[in-house]
Amino acid sequence: MAEAIGIALLGAGTVGSGVSRALASGTERYATRVGRELALRGVLVRDAGRARDGVPEGHLTSDVEAVLADPGTHVVVELMGGEEPARGYIERALSSGRHVVTANKEVMAKHGPELLAVASRRGVRLLYEAAVAGGIPIISPLSRDLLANEITEVTAIINGTTNFMLTEMAQRAAEYDEVLAEAQRLGYAEADPASDVDGVDAAYKLAILCGLAFHVVVSPEAVARQGIRDLAARDFAYARELGYAIKLLAQGRVEPGPGGDELLATVAPTLVARDEPLATVDGVRNAVQVEGDLAGRVLFEGAGAGARPTASAVLADVLEVARDVATGRLPPEAATYAPARVRPPDRILTRHYLRLTVADHAGVLAGIAGILGRHEISLASVIQVEADARARTAEIVITTHPAIAGRLQEALGEIAALEGEVLEVGSVLPIYADGSAR
Ligand code: NAP
Ligand code: HSE
C-alpha cells in the first residue's frame, strides 16, 4: 500500500473543525477518489490544552515548527485567518515544497500574486477556493471553465454575515446588534466582525474575483467600500416601496477610460430591483453573477459561510492536490498580470437613493431639487413622508437617474449646508443596473 498523503491543519475553529470532521467521516470515499489514503498529521491551534469538537485526540499542538517541518506532511491547510502569521506560514510551507490550501481571503487578496509565484517556483500548488463565497465553486470556474470568455462584469453577494443580517433586518425588522450576535453565534462572522460589516471582507473577495475575471492584479485598497452600519430599518421599507431589496453588493467591471480600460470595483449596500436574481439571495447565501461574451450571464449561488459548506470547498482543493501527489502530475505555471488601472470612485456613474430629514416648510424640496439640478443630477422619483408632525419635520426619499458620484457628493455638501432646512443627510446608496440598463 502506498504511503498515505499527509495533511496538516493550521487552525481548528469553525472551518478547521469542520474540515477535520469531514476528513474523518469521508476517509474511505476520499481514498477511492484520490487513489491514496489521506492522513491527518497535526492540527495547529493557539491553545492546545482545549479539546476541539471534530479533532481526533492527540493531534492538537501549538508547536508550529513541528507541524511545518513534519516530513510526512504533503499538504498544509491554512485555516487560521488574519494576515500574519498566516501569510508567513503559507510561504514557509510552499518554500519547503509542500502544497498549500487556504480559505484566507485577506492573505490571498493582499499577497496572492507573490505567494502563487513562490508556489510556481517550487513546483507546488496554492489553492484557495474557500477564500471566496464559502461553499460555492467560483475560483475554479473563473480559472478554468470561463477562461475562454471576455468577462465584462462580476456582481456578487460575497459576505454571508452581512447578507444574513440584512435579510433579518428586512424581513423581521430586527435590530442590528441582535442579528450581528446571531451571525457570530452561527460561526459566519470573522474573528473581528468589523471586517464583515464595514465591507472589508467583501473587498478582499472582490479583489480576488476581479483579478481572476479581468486578468489583472487588484489591490484590495483600490476597492471603493461602504459598510452597512448606517442603514436604518426604514431604508428597507422605502426600498421595498420603490421595488427594491438592499444588498451589500460587490461589483467589478471594466469600462473604457481616458487613458485606456479602467476597472470599477465597489462594495456598498445597494438597491437591487426585486426582479433581479440577486435580490432574492437571502440569509447566509452568497451569489456571484458573471457576464461573459461567450457564456452570457452565469449565476453561482449557495451557502457563503459556515463549517460544512466551507469544508466542502477546502476539501475539494485538498483532493485536487492529493490527486496531483498520487499521480505525480506537475502543477501549472502561475500566470503573471499587470496591476489594474482603477477608476476613482468619484468618477463612477450610477443611479442613487437618497434619504434626507428636512424641516417641513414650503420651498425646502424645491431648494434641494434646485441644487441637484445645478449639478446635472436628474430626479427619477421623490417620496415625502411626514416624520414628526409636531416638530414639523419630514423625510424625503429621492432616487436619481445616473449621476457621477463626485457631482452628487458636491451637491449633497450644499444640501447639508441648507441650515434650518436640511436636518440630516441620511443614507446615500447606489442603485444597481446591469450592463444592458446602464
Ligand atoms: P476561527 O473560528 O476564528 O478559527 C481560527 C483557528 O485558528 C482557531 O483554532 C485558532 O486557535 C487558530 N489560530 C489563529 N491564530 C493562530 C496562531 N497565531 N497560531 C496558531 N493557531 C492560530 O476562524 P474560522 O471562522 O474557522 O475562519 C478561518 C479562516 O477561514 C479565515 O481565513 C476565514 O476568513 C476563512 N473562512 C471562514 C468561513 C466561515 O464561515 N467561518 C468561511 C470561509 C472562509 P485557537 O482555537 O486556539 O484560538
Ligand atoms: N465572514 C465571512 C462571511 C466568512 O460572512 O462571508 C466567509 O468568508
Q: What are 366's three cell numbers?
A: 424645491
User: What is the SS3 assignment for 402?
Assistant: coil
Ligand nearest to the CA of 159: 2
Contacts with 418 (C-beta within 8 Å, 6 or more apart), sequence order: 364, 367, 368, 371
> Please, which residues bridge with residue 78 across strands?
10, 102
Residue 253 exposure: Cα atoms within 13 Å on the Cβ side: 20
Q: How many Å lie between the centroid of ligand 1 and the Cα of residue 107?
A: 13
Contacts with 110 (C-beta within 8 Å, 6 or more apart), sequence order: 83, 87, 204, 219, 220
User: What is the SS3 assignment for 247?
Assistant: strand
Q: Which atom of ligand 1 is nearest to the CA of 189?
A: 41
* 132 vs 130: CA distance, rounded Å: 5
Determine the pLDDT at residue 436.
Answer: 61
Determine the pLDDT at residue 390.
Answer: 85
Say if residue 331's pLDDT is above 90.
Answer: no
Say if residue 435's pLDDT is above 70.
Answer: no
Residue 265 exposure: Cα atoms within 13 Å on the Cβ side: 28
Mean pLDDT of 366-375: 97
* 80 vs 438: CA distance, rounded Å: 41
Per-residue CA distances from 334 to 102, 151, 180 (Å): 17, 20, 39
Mean pLDDT of 272-294: 97
80 lines ligand 1 (CB under 6 A): yes
- With a pLDDT cut of 90, the percent of the chain lying above it is 92
Say if residue 310's pLDDT is above 70.
Answer: yes
Q: Which atom of ligand 2 is nearest to the CA of 196?
A: 1
Residue 35 exposure: Cα atoms within 13 Å on the Cβ side: 9
Q: Which atom of ligand 1 is nearest to the CA of 107?
A: 32
Contacts with 430 (C-beta within 8 Å, 6 or more apart), sequence order: 249, 266, 268, 270, 271, 350, 351, 352, 353
Determine the pLDDT at residue 251.
Answer: 98
85 lines ligand 1 (CB under 6 A): yes
pLDDT tens digits, one per residue of 113-154: 999 999 999 999 999 999 999 999 999 999 999 999 999 999
Q: How many Å lie between the centroid of ligand 1 and the Cα of residue 316?
A: 19
Determine the pLDDT at residue 175.
Answer: 86
| H/E stretch holding 300 | strand 296-303
Per-residue CA distances from 185 to 155, 181, 244, 280, 349 (Å): 28, 6, 29, 24, 39
Determine the pLDDT at residue 1.
Answer: 61
Determine the pLDDT at residue 134.
Answer: 93
* 132 vs 138: CA distance, rounded Å: 7
Determine the pLDDT at residue 105.
Answer: 98
192 lines ligand 1 (CB under 6 A): no
φ, ψ at 92 (rounded to 5°):
-65, -40
Ligand nearest to the CA of 200: 2
Determine the pLDDT at residue 74.
Answer: 97
Determine the pLDDT at residue 172.
Answer: 87
DSSP code of 408? H
Identify the residue whose C-alpha is closest to ligand 1 atom 41: 188
* 185 vs 277: CA distance, rounded Å: 28
pLDDT tens digits, one per residue of 21-58: 999 999 999 999 999 999 999 999 999 999 998 999 99
Say if residue 434's pLDDT is above 80.
Answer: no
- With a pLDDT cut of 70, the percent of the chain lying above it is 99
**Helices (DSSP H) in 137-175: which residue ranges?**
139-140, 160-172
Q: Which atom of ligand 1 is nearest to the CA of 187?
A: 41
Determine the pLDDT at residue 438.
Answer: 63
112 lines ligand 1 (CB under 6 A): no
305 lines ligand 1 (CB under 6 A): yes
Mean pLDDT of 170-180: 89
Identify the residue whose C-alpha is closest to ligand 2 atom 7: 305
106 lines ligand 2 (CB under 6 A): no
Residue environment code for 407-433, b if the CB has 16+ CB neighbours within 10 A, otherwise e: bbebbbebbeebeebbbeebbbbbbbe
Catalytic residues, by residue number, are 205
